[in-house]
């Protein structure tokens, strides 16, 4: 059985003062066709030593609406930034 890739839309915004490029991707259809489908929501945890901003990445909860609309099970990637050893 061939898997069909979901339709994706992306919006890029560019702000001159900070010179940062942001890309927002919205999926129309399921993003996760086969990973851990027996779980209601797939959420993973990773540890990193350095983040660009204290509140990065910010969770806006968009995956909740996406899951309800498409029957998908995508969840957040939870990033733990442990305090440095003293």
Active-site residue list:
41
| 3 state DSSP class of 73 | coil
| Interior/surface letters 6-27, b for 16+ CB within 10 angstroms, e for the rest | eeeeeeeeeeeeeeeeeeeeeb
């Amino acid at each position: 059985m061939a898997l069909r890739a979901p339709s994706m839309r992306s919006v890029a915004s560019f702000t001159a003062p900070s010179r940062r490029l942001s890309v927002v991707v919205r999926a129309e259809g399921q993003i996760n066709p086969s990973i851990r489908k027996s779980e209601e929501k797939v959420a993973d945890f990773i540890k990193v030593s350095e983040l660009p901003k204290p509140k990065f990445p910010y969770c806006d909860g968009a995956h909740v609406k996406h899951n309800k609309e498409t029957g998908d099970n995508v969840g957040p990637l939870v990033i733990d930034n442990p305090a440095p050893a003293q």
